[in-house]
């Protein structure tokens, strides 16, 4: 089956809004219906094997991004995971932030009253980050791997170099606009804590996400609780001390099962090949947008690879034309944001450019 056939909405519009909400496939719909039918018919018996099932979900996540399943935790969304990380850090941290990064990062740091330094996002973002680390000596760098406003993407090789120079610096990454759009190897990366929601590029609907930790990072979080006596109830004996913070209470098998179903679909459709085609489409789109003068200077002149998210500097009237042409996109920041995913094709890009040129 051709992957576009799994998404009925694509027959009625050109969907370029995955950066806001990823599509739910007909395959997901069938799985979710079967899940809830079983719950309807079985009641509490339906939950008997939920612990084993959730472990399988963690194993699927860990396999997808090459992480350790024993340090992978299920969370409802990025915001919950990041706030939990902030709560678990030792006192007296100094956090480096990027201006206009996702509010769930910057506002959360502000809300926790943690000392922070913010630097502007420019075409030389990596050089600016290095200079800020040298000048201000932060203990944590919290950032989005891909910026939600304009698709600016941090260079992973730069992060490795940064970590080699400043091994004490804890790198905490929001992968919500990255995972599902690019292959990723967490263990080989420099990132210490990776946090991700599943509703965008992972196409997993709402209410699911994950946190993956390197060993050193796991040792730092909630360190003072390690010696506390855990609850003695038999059904809690398999939990480690971090799971009581990242995974408190019951876990929803519908939402996390939907995430696992997405990962299985990605495997079925050869995810590396799909993302290679997506990257080629994004490069072609960037060329077309630059030719038309639609991108900011920091994106157009940047020497590092860009993501598949773009902020187009067009008029309100032109945006209305896009809507009339059934091209789904949204105003974000200073432009109109468009985003391409694995179900988008060169025809979608051609249609967009045709309307922009009208």
Confidence of residue 234 (pLDDT cuts 50, 70, 90): low
> Looking at residue 233, what is its pLDDT?
62
pLDDT > 90 in the chain, percent: 92
> Looking at residue 239, what is its pLDDT?
72
Q: Where are the domains of the chain?
A: 3-26+270-357, 33-268
Q: What whole-number distance in Å separates Cα of residue 103 and Cα of residue 79?
A: 9
pLDDT digits (tens, 9 = 90+) for 267-292: 999 999 999 999 999 999 999 999 99
Q: What whole-number distance in Å separates Cα of residue 234 and Cα of residue 282?
A: 51
pLDDT digits (tens, 9 = 90+) for 132-169: 999 999 999 999 999 999 999 999 999 999 999 999 99
pLDDT > 70 in the chain, percent: 96
CA 85 → CA 5, 106, 130, 170, 193, distances in Å?
Answer: 39, 14, 23, 11, 9
Mean pLDDT of 330-337: 93
pLDDT digits (tens, 9 = 90+) for 165-179: 999 999 999 999 999
Q: For 242-282, give the secondary structure using H, E and C.
A: CHHHHCCCCCCHHHHHHHHHHHHHHHHCCHHHHHHHHHHHH
Mean pLDDT of 340-357: 97
> Looking at residue 345, what is its pLDDT?
97
> Looking at residue 223, what is its pLDDT?
82
> Looking at residue 180, what is its pLDDT?
97
Instruction: Write out the DSSP string of 214-246.
Output: -HHHHHHTTGGGTTSPPP--GGGTT--TTHHHH
Q: What is the CATH code for 33-268?
A: 3.40.640.10
pLDDT over 60 (residue 1)? no
Mean pLDDT of 73-88: 98
Query: Quick check: helix, strand or coil at residue 80?
Result: helix
Q: What whole-number distance in Å separates Cα of residue 338 and Cα of residue 328?
A: 8
pLDDT over 90 (residue 17)? yes
Between strands 72-75 and 209-213, the pairing is: antiparallel
Instruction: Write out the DSSP string of 156-172.
Output: HHHHHHHHHH-TT-EEE
Query: Quick check: helix, strand or coil at residue 105?
Result: helix
Mean pLDDT of 181-189: 97
> What are the backbone dihedrals phi and psi of residue 114, each rounded to the nearest 5 degrees, phi first?
-90, 135
CA dihedral 212, 214, 220, 225 (to 10 degrees): 60
Domains 3-26+270-357 and 33-268 share a fold: no
> Looking at residue 169, what is its pLDDT?
98
pLDDT over 90 (residue 238)? no
Mean pLDDT of 121-137: 96
> Looking at residue 333, what is its pLDDT?
86
**H helix runs in 269-315, sequence order:** 271-291, 297-300
CA 293 → CA 11, 98, 263, 288, distances in Å?
Answer: 30, 26, 37, 9
Q: What is the CATH code for 3-26+270-357?
A: 3.90.1150.10
pLDDT over 70 (residue 235)? no
Mean pLDDT of 9-14: 97
pLDDT over 60 (residue 309)? yes
Mean pLDDT of 64-93: 97
Strand partners of residue 338: 310
Mean pLDDT of 83-101: 97
């Amino acid at each position: 089956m051709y992957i576009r056939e799994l998404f009925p909405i694509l027959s009625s519009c050109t969907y370029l809004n995955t950066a806001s909400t990823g599509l739910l496939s007909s395959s997901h719909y069938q799985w979710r219906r079967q899940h809830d039918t079983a719950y309807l018919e079985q009641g509490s018996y339906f939950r008997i094997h939920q612990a084993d099932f959730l472990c399988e979900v963690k194993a699927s996540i860990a396999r997808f991004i090459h992480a350790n399943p024993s340090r992978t935790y299920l969370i409802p969304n990025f915001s919950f995971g990041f706030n939990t990380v902030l709560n678990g850090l030792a006192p007296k941290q100094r956090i480096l932030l990027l201006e206009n990064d996702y509010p769930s990062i910057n506002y959360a740091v502000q809300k926790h009253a943690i000392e922070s330094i913010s630097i502007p996002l420019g075409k030389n973002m990596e050089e600016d980050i290095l200079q800020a680390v040298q000048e201000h000596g932060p203990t944590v760098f919290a950032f989005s791997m891909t910026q939600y406003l304009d698709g600016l993407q941090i260079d992973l090789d730069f992060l490795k170099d940064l970590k080699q120079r400043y091994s004490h610096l804890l790198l905490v990454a929001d992968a919500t606009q990255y995972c599902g759009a690019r292959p990723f190897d967490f263990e080989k990366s420099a990132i210490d804590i990776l946090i991700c929601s599943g509703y965008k590029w992972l196409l997993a609907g709402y209410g699911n996400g994950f946190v993956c930790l390197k060993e050193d990072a796991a040792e730092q979080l909630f360190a003072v609780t390690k010696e506390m006596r855990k609850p003695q109830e038999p059904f809690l004996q398999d939990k480690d001390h971090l799971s009581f913070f990242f995974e408190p209470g019951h876990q929803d098998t519908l939402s996390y099962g939907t995430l696992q179903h997405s990962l299985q679909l990605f495997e079925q459709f050869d995810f590396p090949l799909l993302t290679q085609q997506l990257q080629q489409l994004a490069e072609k789109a960037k060329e077309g947008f630059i030719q038309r003068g639609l991108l900011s200077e920091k994106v157009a002149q940047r020497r590092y690879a860009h993501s598949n998210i773009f902020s187009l500097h067009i008029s309100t009237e032109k945006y209305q034309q896009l809507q009339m042409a059934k091209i789904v996109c949204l105003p974000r920041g200073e432009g109109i944001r468009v985003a391409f995913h694995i179900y988008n094709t060169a025809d979608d890009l051609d249609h967009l450019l045709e309307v922009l040129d009208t």
